[in-house]
Each structure stands twice: as C-alpha cells, then as structure tokens.
Amino acid sequence: MRRSDKFLFGLTVLLFLFSDVYYAGLGRVYDYVYISLVAISLRRILKGLSRFAINESVALIIIACPWLVVGMFQGSVLLVLAWLVGIILFYGIIGGYLRSKIEYFLAWLGYGLWVSLSVFFVQFCLKFFGSIYLDLHEIIGSIPSRGWNDEINYFRASGLFQEPNAFAAISFAMASVRIHHLQRLEFVDVLSILSIIVSQSLWGFGAVIVLLGICRITAARIKRGSILIGIVLTLVLINFNIIDSWYQDSTTGQRISGIDGDASRNVRFGYFEDYLNFDQKIFGVGLNGDKFQILIGANGFAFLYTSFGVAGVVLLFFWLTVNARFNWRPIIAVLYLFTTFPHTAYMFFWVWLSLIMAPSFSKEGIDRQEQCKL
C-alpha cells in the first residue's frame, strides 16, 4: 500500500471522527482542512477512482439541479455549495477512489472505530466510576457536548461527539460500511453495537437492529464468544441489577415507557405547522435548511420533503434504488440514517453514501482485506 493511500485513508477516517467538531461562525473546521490536504494529491486520486461513482454523482446532480438552482436564488448558497462539493468531490472523486481500495479502507474504518470506542469507554468509566465528566469539545473550545445533564443527574456517554445521537449515527455509518462489504460481524463491529446500546440513544437502539439486519447471517462468521461478551458488558455497564428496577427508575427507561411525550422524540418527529401550499408539497421549495424542522420535525425526511417535494423525493429514491443495484441492505441503511438529523451538509455523509452504495466486493476481496497490514 502506498504511503499516500495511508495518508488519505487516515484523513478520511478523521472526517468521520471529527464530524461533530463545530465552532460558531466557522462551522466544521476539519472539513475545510480535509479539502485543503486532499487537493494536494487530487491529480493522483483522479487516475484511480471508480467510474461508476462518477456516473452516479453526475446523475444525482442532474436530478437535483432544478432544486439546487432554486435554492441558490432563494439564498441557500452555502447549503447548495455543500451539496455540490459533497456530490462531486466526496461522493464521486474521494468515494470513487476509496471504492477501488475498499478492501484496505475497511481495515482503516476498523481502526477508526477502535479510536472512537476507546474515547467513549474512557469517558464512560471516568463518569461512572470517578464522577468526572470528560468534555473534549469544551476542552478544545468547540460547542460543549450534551452528554451530561446536571439538572436531572442524567449521563450518557458520547465520546468524541456532542451527544449520544451523533455518536450512534457515526458508529452506525462506519460499522454499516464494514458489515455491508465484509458480510460478517467482526469483534470491533460487535463492540460498536454494544457501545451504541450503552450510549442509551433511543435512535441508536433502532440503529442496532438495522446493523444486525444488513449482515448476511448465512455468511456471518462471528468470533466465538463475542455475543456473550457483548451481553455481559451491556448488563454491567448499564447496571442492570434488576431489569424491572432499571426500567422503572432510570431516565432512559422512563423515556421509553413515555415515548409519546419524550422531548427528543417530539423535536425529531413531532408535527408542528403545515406551512406548504399544494405546489410546494409536490415540487418543494428548493434546497433549504431553514424551516423544515417546523413541518414534521428535525429529521432527514422532513428536509427532503420540504426541499424537493413529493416529485423530487420520488426521483431521489429512484436514483438510490437503481444505483444500489436494487440491494435492499444499503437502501435500508440510507433510509434509516435519514430518520435522524439530516447530514447532507456534513462531508462524511457523501463519502459514506458512496461507499455504502458500492456493491459488496467478492470473496477474494474479503480474503485480501484480512491480509491487509499497515
């Protein structure tokens, strides 16, 4: 493996891990750093990328073009630029190159998961056993994380991310690419699923089901004892002394039992105000990230429906289905990620989308991946 490939793989893994580092007035600084560093080796990347990813990105731009133009004229300039950069550079070019090296990059995604998990469990143990809340975002001057609610004495670990939902979303994204292509669960993937449960993100509980669902059970080679270890660690870490007692006394248990009134659920999926006229419901208002939250909640489907309307969403789903080769596994993964906050302005999303859409590589490729070394 070339040193330049290792450099690109490492940078891209950090694109996932630093996706939640946000500075008011500056945005996601690492996205800018990544683009600057990748530009240096862009010529070499262009020689080795997958033409399928380029074709898919061109088709997506053609489909989205009318809504991008309307959004531009309505003032959503930065969001439109984010989509264009995301589709062309991150989906087509970066994602296309990583597809050609997928058996190597999957190993690097595994390393990234180990880093994320290490920080997550250090934060968990410091708070659970030492009453010390490690807020890395506050330390580096970013927006403080929301894993600890002092008012109700409620702690949920989030590791490198600002909240458990973000931790669950990135863990889901990284693990889903690995599971889709490897067609099995490795220990780091099982541990990632465990950590999502430990984070007590309600969205994450659904993510666990999806991750297990997209794994080809008939081809899975789960390492001996990994499920047992996962169950034991989950019981210990969440402190399930008595399941009924936990369910009644814990904040998470109360959130589950009273899901209809849960504040996070209401923000994400609550109905607020139907401000769209008939034409806007059919054709959307153009790419816009300002008001979709007040329609049907702060989720990706509300964003797509508000921006593209029914007609545009149908076209996007057609693009997704065709380019996923009618494989339901990546389609389910993409659709589920859109049930949380829309990540289309995050550059990691477009790399992830390109990789999850790629056909899982052959058994020979899987065997090669097992032999990949740093």
For 181-240, what is each residue's pLDDT tens digit? 988 888 899 899 989 988 888 888 889 989 988 876 544 445 544 555 555 555 555 554
User: How many domains is the chain partitioned into structurally?
Assistant: 1
> Residue 5 and residue 218: Cα distance in Å, rounded?
33
> Residue 328 and residue 320: Cα distance in Å, rounded?
10
Q: Print the domain residue range for 191.
A: 3-370
Within 13 Å and on the Cβ side, how many CA atoms surround 49?
A: 26
Per-residue pLDDT, 231: 56
> Residue 254 and residue 259: Cα distance in Å, rounded?
8
For tokens 């990105």, the residue is: 57
CA-nearest of 252, 279, 185 to 224 is: 185
Token pair belonging to 107: 């190993």
Per-residue pLDDT, 256: 56
Per-residue pLDDT, 217: 52
- Is 56 in contact with 323 (CB distance < 8 Å)? yes
Per-residue pLDDT, 275: 72
> Residue 275 and residue 161: Cα distance in Å, rounded?
33
Per-residue pLDDT, 302: 87
> Residue 100 and residue 97: Cα distance in Å, rounded?
5
- Is 172 in contact with 211 (CB distance < 8 Å)? yes
In this structure, the chain runs to a length of: 374
Per-residue pLDDT, 247: 41
DSSP secondary structure, 316-328, as one string = HHHHHHHHTTT-H
> Residue 280 and residue 329: Cα distance in Å, rounded?
31
DSSP 185: -
The list of the chain residues with pLDDT below 70 reads 1, 152, 216-274, 295, 297, 360-374
